[in-house]
Amino acid sequence: MNYEQRISQAAHKVEERLLSLLRDKPQAYASVLEAMEYSLMAGGKRIRPLLTLEFCTLCGGEEETALDPACAVEMIHSYSLIHDDLPCMDDDDLRRGKPSCHIQFGEATALLAGDGLLTKAFETIAAASTLDDTKKARCVLQLAKAAGAHGMIAGQVIDLASENRQISQDTLHQLCALKTGEMIRVAARLGCICAGADEKQIQAADIYAEKIGLAFQIEDDILDIIGDEEKLGKPVGSDAQSHKNTFATLYGIERSRELVASLTEQAKDALNVFDSQKSGFLKVLAEKLASRDN
Amino acid sequence: MNYEQRISQAAHKVEERLLSLLRDKPQAYASVLEAMEYSLMAGGKRIRPLLTLEFCTLCGGEEETALDPACAVEMIHSYSLIHDDLPCMDDDDLRRGKPSCHIQFGEATALLAGDGLLTKAFETIAAASTLDDTKKARCVLQLAKAAGAHGMIAGQVIDLASENRQISQDTLHQLCALKTGEMIRVAARLGCICAGADEKQIQAADIYAEKIGLAFQIEDDILDIIGDEEKLGKPVGSDAQSHKNTFATLYGIERSRELVASLTEQAKDALNVFDSQKSGFLKVLAEKLASRDN
């Protein structure tokens, strides 16, 4: 199976499971469940659940074992996008070329759909038939910390506070590490936990995820300046227009590209603790994310 | 210790623990943590965590064992109030006589504070040093189900859909069972789980909590019509003014009072499976809630 096949096979598997986890929709309150499904199934690269599945198999586990935690990670990612798009936050009408959740279902339902997905993430782990109670408790703890007020939410707070003012490189790094980095890191980490990985493996996964997470964000910022609108599916130049603090504006394009290249190498190096036969896909993933055009 | 002393002692214990769970407030994102604390410490009767503590000791456990799950329940209750008060939901500027969270901190911070409390609830259970992993996993599962899109959130959806139109008694019962009943029920249930209760005890706790939860809501509706504004600390007649569907308007005051009395008896009867010496407080609690004037 080549890189593209693996990506789409994992995405398909995650999407099937997500659908089945949200199957039940009693008529009296179907709207919120439809809104949850709408946002959850709106596409995206499914990179986070892919990391969960990949690190589980890399650490010697069965992919199936990590499927529900992988879905939980994607639910939290999806909830964060719904709440981020709300008028009181980024006020975005479009998400991946489609009406965002509150445009499609109204603000109240979108708010509740986000709450519902966040809650469902923890239910999904606690109900996972593939995990023993110790793994469930560890996954819940790690996921809640990563998504919580000292993790992803802290990143959103710093992001809001940084609007319309110049921030330092340190603050930008902290913002990125928290707002997007924490969830990417915990995605990899949950895969390790599901497989019963040792501390050394978990640390390697942390470093890999941290590096590709940062590289991904920097590449995003670069593409916003020099990307192809058609391939991106969104207008370029929006960051500059809204005076957003980005790596590309703070470091310049050339230095940003060097950073992406160096982070990608560091990510690949971190995988050296694993069987090199099995880590090939994650190495390619790091490279592809760094050289993507969308 | 009499009834009032026990209520305030438990509330004090819960509030101290809540404060200590939120102690850490790094400056870069302190705003959201302050908003979480503001809403969490805004008072209230702390009935839900009290139920968790009481059912734990009633089932033979130490109160301390259930303290973190009790705090988790209160965090979810508090998050639900923050999100409920937002402009896109009930648009309430006041909560317990103080500015609601979004008035005090702005909408974006209030939204994130709610998200943060919901997430922190699960972290708190998963990190509880008093629980083994099996109890943690069970508590997370039960709490997520009760708070989720088939529980409390479903109740909020039905509530939104019922605005400005007459609903049936069945729908009102469903609304109440989901919107407030589920969290009261799980509060009691978590106490049982912490104590390692058997199925018969959990079922009795479910029935008790279900009955007092419904009686509490009906009493609320009655007080909104005939209550004393000064004692209530809020204006009466607001339900009728906003054409809200309430038990008092659907059943009338007299029938509503009969319902409260009968539910209170049923709640007390459910406690007969427990040691009658130890269940005294919960019987008094059921009576006091039914005869309160605020």
Task: Annotate A137-195 with DSSP letters as a single string.
Answer: HHHHHHHHHHHSTTTHHHHHHHHHHHTTS---HHHHHHHHIIIIIHHHHHHHHHHHHHH
pLDDT above 70 as % of chain A: 100
CB contact under 8 A, A144 and B126: yes
pLDDT of the residue at A224: 86
Nearest to A139 by CA among A73, A201, A78: A73
Q: In this predicted model, what pLDDT tens digit does every residue of A100-122 receive, in sequence order?
A: 999 999 999 999 999 999 999 99
Interface check for A69 against chain B (CB to CB < 8 A): the answer is no
Task: Tell me the pLDDT tens digit for each residue of A171-213.
Answer: 999 999 999 999 999 999 999 999 999 999 999 999 999 999 9
| pLDDT on residue A257 | 95
pLDDT of residue A156: 96
B258-B262-B266 Cα angle (round to 5): 170
User: Cα separation of A108 and A125, whole Å?
Assistant: 26
Nearest to B24 by CA among B13, B15, B34, B38: B34
CB-nearest partner of A149 from B88, B116, B137: B116
- pTM listed for this prediction: 0.96
Q: Do B76 and B179 touch, CB atoms closer than 8 A?
A: no
- From the list B88, B140, B148, which residue is nearest A120 (CB)? B148
Contacts of A62 (CB under 8 A, 6+ apart): A56, A130
Interface test with A, best of B131, B140, B143, B168 (most A CBs within 10 A): B140
Q: Check if B141 contacts A (Cβ < 8 Å).
A: yes
| pLDDT of res. A164 | 85
CB contact under 8 A, A24 and B150: yes
Q: Which residues of A touch B29 (CB under 8 A)?
A: 149-150, 153-155, 157-158, 161, 178
Task: List the structure tokens of B155.
Answer: 């109740």
Contact B96, B149 (CB under 8 A): no
Neighbours of A198 (CB within 10 A): 11
Who among B28, B33, B136 is closest to A174 (CB)?
A: B28
State the virtual CA torsion across B78, B82, B84, B86 in degrees, nearest 10: 180
- What is the pLDDT tens value at each position of chain B, 294 positions in all? 889 999 999 999 999 999 999 999 999 999 999 999 999 999 888 999 999 999 999 999 999 999 999 999 999 999 999 999 999 999 999 998 899 999 999 999 999 999 999 999 999 999 999 999 999 999 999 999 999 999 999 999 999 999 888 999 999 999 999 999 999 999 999 999 999 999 999 999 999 999 999 999 999 899 988 877 777 767 777 777 777 889 998 999 999 999 999 999 999 999 999 999 999 999 999 999 998 877
Mean pLDDT of A213-235: 85
Contact A149 B120 (CB under 8 A): yes
Q: How far is CA A12 from the centre of its chain?
A: 16
**What's the ipTM?**
0.96
Minimum CA–CA partner of A33 in chain B: B149
* Partner residue facing B119 (CB), from A107, A118, A155: A118
- Residue A114 to residue B109, Cβ atoms within 8 A: no
